[in-house]
């Protein structure tokens, strides 16, 4: 992932979760700043995003998973969307949502992921599937809100720039084990996990 995404960003933060391979050395070769993970290992969703943002050098943060590919055209436009007077960012927007495709696993399906956020206004919750929230109200960032008689939305969808989820490289058994682990972890926090079928 770093080989094709690192050049698009001014800073890159990596959390090391006790890796025993060459992850840290590889990340440092790409001039990433690497930190050992400190948060609870059983609550990796929102906790990891919040911990990464604590180390961020800038207000706008893009979150990517190791098993994802990102459209190169999107990477080239990140700075365009986040600049203060961007003509393509809608008023009040502090987060961007992207489509994510799951080839072979759900070949005709896509979900949407909020990955580019202004950490001054956006927080995170949920133990497994991180949900971005507006810090001041603790409401999901993708909901409409009425402010001073105006209807406001803080998240903008960019349909033309997909993420590609590479989970299909895993075996069916490993995917099912992962799904069950997610369900157990979210059950501990009282959150009902999304219903998923492993094909």
Q: What is the pLDDT of residue 105?
A: 57
Token pair 């919040």: residue: 50
| Confidence label for 195 from pLDDT (cuts 50, 70 and 90) | very low
Between CA 96 and CA 161 the distance in angstroms is: 11
- CA separation for the pair 10, 15 (Å, rounded): 17
| Beta strands 13-16; 68-70: pairing state | unpaired
Q: Does residue 82 surpass a pLDDT of 80?
A: yes
What stretch of H or E contains 62?
strand 60-62
pTM as predicted? 0.80
- For residue 20, the cross-strand partners are none
Beta-sheet strands, E only, within 63-193: 68-70, 95-102, 106-118, 122-125, 131-134, 139-140, 145-147, 150-152, 155-157, 163-165
Alpha carbon 128 to its chain centroid, in Å, reads 12
pLDDT band of residue 64 (cuts 50, 70, 90) is confident
**Model pLDDT, residue 85:** 87
């Amino acid at each position: 992932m770093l080989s094709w995404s690192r050049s698009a960003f001014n800073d890159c933060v990596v959390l090391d979760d006790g890796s025993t391979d060459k992850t840290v050395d590889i990340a440092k070769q790409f001039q990433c700043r690497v930190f050992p993970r400190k948060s609870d290992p059983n609550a990796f969703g929102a906790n990891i995003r919040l911990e990464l943002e604590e180390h961020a050098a800038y207000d706008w943060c893009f979150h990517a998973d190791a098993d994802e590919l990102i459209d190169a055209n999107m990477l080239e436009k990140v700075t365009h969307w986040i600049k203060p007077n961007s003509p393509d960012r809608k008023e009040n927007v502090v987060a961007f949502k992207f489509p994510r495709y799951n080839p072979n696993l759900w070949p005709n399906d896509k979900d949407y992921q909020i990955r580019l956020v202004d950490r001054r206004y956006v927080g995170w919750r949920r133990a497994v599937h991180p949900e971005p929230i507006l810090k001041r109200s603790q409401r999901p960032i993708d909901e409409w809100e009425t402010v001073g008689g105006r209807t406001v939305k803080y998240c903008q969808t960019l349909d033309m720039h997909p993420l590609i989820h590479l989970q299909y490289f895993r075996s069916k058994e490993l995917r099912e084990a992962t799904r069950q682990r997610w369900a157990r972890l979210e059950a501990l926090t009282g959150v009902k996990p999304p219903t998923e079928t492993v094909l």
